[in-house]
Amino acid sequence: MRLRARAADRYARAIHDLAVSAGAVAEVARDLAAARRWTSDSGEFRGFLSNYLLPKAARLAVIETLMAPRLHSLTWQFVRFIESRRRLALLPDICASYGEQEDARQGILRARLGSAQPLATAERELLANRAAQKTGRRIEFQFVHAPELLGGYRLQIEDTVYDFSLAARLRLWRSRMVSDAV
């Protein structure tokens, strides 16, 4: 995972605070999600964001043509502001951080659950309920197929990993056998 610039987090916090006070959280979130897709789908657009060799008027004209008709007025003002500060290259990171700000406001934690075999709906719900009880917050899972686990599952909530996989138990067993042999 790439570390984001602190500036991107500050800008995201600023636009999030403005969106909350204006009652436009959903609209700004939708706009920033679209902008994030644009940057991930188009390497040319991503390159344009950080290319300040173009004259300022030409850059602004391109940005206005591409973005103004698609964005909520608050998001458009924000894009113009970060462009005036020559920080438009931070847009993908700002978009990611904005989502985290909104998740925190709503008390949502994002988690990644990997399992060797697909989990049944009942198993997913049970793990979700237990994780919610442990954290006291609502958990939204990203489920991933991870055959290298051999069995069981691995749950990552923020920076904490709970590894209940067969592969982890085998590694632990192996390290105990090696340490006992020495």
Task: Estimate to the nearest angstrom the gap between the alpha carbon of 104 and the chain centroid.
Answer: 12
Residues whose CB is less than 8 angstroms from the CB of residue 68 and which lie 6 or more positions away in sequence, other chains included: 76
Chain segment 104-161, per-residue pLDDT in tens: 888 888 889 899 888 888 988 888 888 888 888 888 888 888 989 898 889 888 788 8
Same domain, 144 and 100: no
Residue 10: the pLDDT is 94
Bridge partners (DSSP) listed for residue 110: 140
Residue 84: burial class (beta carbons within 10 Å; 0-12, 13-18, 19+) = exposed
Q: How confident is the model at residue 1 (pLDDT cuts 50, 70, 90)?
A: very low
Q: How many domains does the chain have?
A: 2
Q: 7 Cβ partners below 8 Å, 6+ apart? A: 87, 90
In a domain, 169, yes or no: yes
Predicted local confidence at residue 90, as pLDDT:
92
Check whether residue 170 and residue 152 sit in a common domain.
Answer: yes
1 falls within a domain: no
The two three-digit tokens of residue 131, written as one number: 């994780």
Q: Which domain holds residue 79?
A: 6-104
Same domain, 39 and 82: yes
Residues 130 and 158 reside in one and the same domain: yes
Q: Are 119 and 146 in contact (CB under 8 A)?
A: no
Apex 157 CA angle, 156 and 163, nearest 5: 30
96: left (phi over 0), alpha (psi -120 to 50) or beta: alpha
Answer yes or no: do 57 and 10 share one domain.
Answer: yes
Query: Among residues 39, 73, 104, which one ends one of the domains?
Result: 104
Q: Tokens in use for 170?
A: 């085998």
Could you tell me the CATH number of the domain that includes residue 59?
A: 1.10.520.20
**94 and 156, same domain (yes or no):** no
Among candidate residues 65, 85, 104, the one where a domain is terminated: 104
Claim to verify: residue 148 and residue 67 sit in the same structural domain:
no
Q: Are 119 and 162 in the same domain?
A: yes
**Chosen domain end from 104, 133, 151:** 104
pLDDT of residue 13: 94
* Beta strands 138-145 and 160-165, pairing class: unpaired
**How much is the pTM?**
0.67
Do 93 and 172 lie in one domain? The reply is no
